[in-house]
């Protein structure tokens, strides 16, 4: 839940990028960090393994201005995607306000996406949260692979596998090229902040 500081009139909002390993969560944050450099005051924090995989999380804070007289601080996090790091994923999910699920469009990763979404559902339940009540945006990443002749899943298949019940807004994206990375982020911020509006009144 977002932290509201009534003295500073400041709201801290936590948005987590979730999804299977090597799906492009960190690439999303790296692109945002480059693209919006001027608005980001602090360095992006990453805790990586030697193999350059996310071990703990990436963290990117920035301000988006004021809503109802409160300044809004957005804090973007990623989780480590690899199956074995579930304890860490759960830690990062603590206090989450909005989620971007970054699915890998590669044909071979179909099962991984489904498992990761199921894992998200279970981890949210551990915090008494229901995946269908929390602001969530789907991102079907790596659409650019089709140009290289690598078989990818159709958006319809991804929708059917992952978003059939949730009916969350979704974007086809290429984090490496930056396609729809900003659009995904803007959407999750808009959804999350609008869910907080009532609290700010």
Partner 1 sequence: MEFTIDFTKEQIESIEEILQKELIDLGVQSVILMDLAGNVIVNLDSGESDHDVFSLAALAAGNYGAVSAMANIIGEQEFSLLFHKGEEESIHFSKVVDDLLLLTIFNKNVSLGFLRLKVGEAIKRIQSLI
Question: Site residues (CB under 8 A) for partner 1?
Answer: 1, 3-7, 12, 14, 42-43, 45, 47, 56-57, 59, 61, 73, 75, 77, 87-88, 91-92, 94-96, 127-129
- How many angstroms separate the CA atoms of 64 and 75, rounded? 11
Minimum distance from residue 68 beta carbon to partner 1 (Å): 16
Q: 78: closest CA among 51, 52, 102?
A: 102
Minimum distance from residue 103 beta carbon to partner 1 (Å): 25
Q: Nearer Cβ to partner 1, position 53 or 177?
A: 53
Q: Where are the beta strands (DSSP E) in the chain?
A: 3-5, 10-18, 45-48, 54-67, 70-78, 98-104, 136-141, 170-172
10 burial via Cβ count (<10 Å: 0-12, 13-18, 19+):
middle
- How many angstroms separate the CA atoms of 187 and 171, rounded? 10
Asked whether 136 and 129 are in contact (CB, 8 A), the reply is: no
Return the DSSP state at 43.
P
Asked whether 112 and 20 are in contact (CB, 8 A), the reply is: yes
Minimum distance from residue 91 beta carbon to partner 1 (Å): 4
Q: Nearer Cβ to partner 1, position 89 or 109?
A: 89
Q: Nearer Cβ to partner 1, position 63 or 147?
A: 63
Q: Nearer Cβ to partner 1, position 16 or 175?
A: 16
Q: Nearer Cβ to partner 1, position 61 or 178?
A: 61
Beta bridge partners of 45: 59
Minimum distance from residue 87 beta carbon to partner 1 (Å): 6
Minimum distance from residue 128 beta carbon to partner 1 (Å): 7
Minimum distance from residue 95 beta carbon to partner 1 (Å): 2
Measured distance between the N- and C-terminal CA atoms of the chain, rounded to whole angstroms: 16
Q: 192: closest CA among 63, 100, 70?
A: 100
Q: Nearer Cβ to partner 1, position 75 or 157?
A: 75
């Amino acid at each position: 839940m977002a932290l509201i500081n009534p003295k500073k009139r400041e709201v801290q909002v936590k948005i987590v990028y979730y999804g299977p390993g090597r799906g492009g969560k960190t690439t999303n944050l790296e692109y945002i960090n480059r693209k919006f450099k001027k608005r980001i005051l602090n360095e992006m924090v990453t805790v990586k393994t030697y193999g350059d995989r996310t071990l703990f999380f990436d963290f990117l804070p920035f301000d988006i201005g004021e809503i109802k007289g409160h300044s809004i601080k957005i804090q973007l996090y990623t989780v480590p995607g690899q199956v074995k790091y579930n304890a860490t994923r759960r830690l990062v999910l603590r206090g989450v306000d909005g989620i971007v699920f970054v699915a890998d469009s590669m044909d071979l990763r179909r099962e991984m996406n489904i498992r990761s979404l199921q894992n998200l559902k279970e981890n949210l339940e551990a915090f008494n949260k229901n995946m269908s009540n929390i602001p969530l945006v789907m991102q079907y990443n790596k659409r650019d692979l089709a140009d290289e002749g690598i078989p990818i899943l159709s958006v319809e298949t991804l929708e059917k596998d992952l978003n059939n019940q949730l009916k969350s807004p979704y974007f086809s994206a290429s984090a490496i090229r930056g396609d729809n990375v900003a659009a995904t982020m803007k959407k999750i911020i808009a959804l999350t902040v609008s869910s907080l509006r009532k609290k700010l009144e």
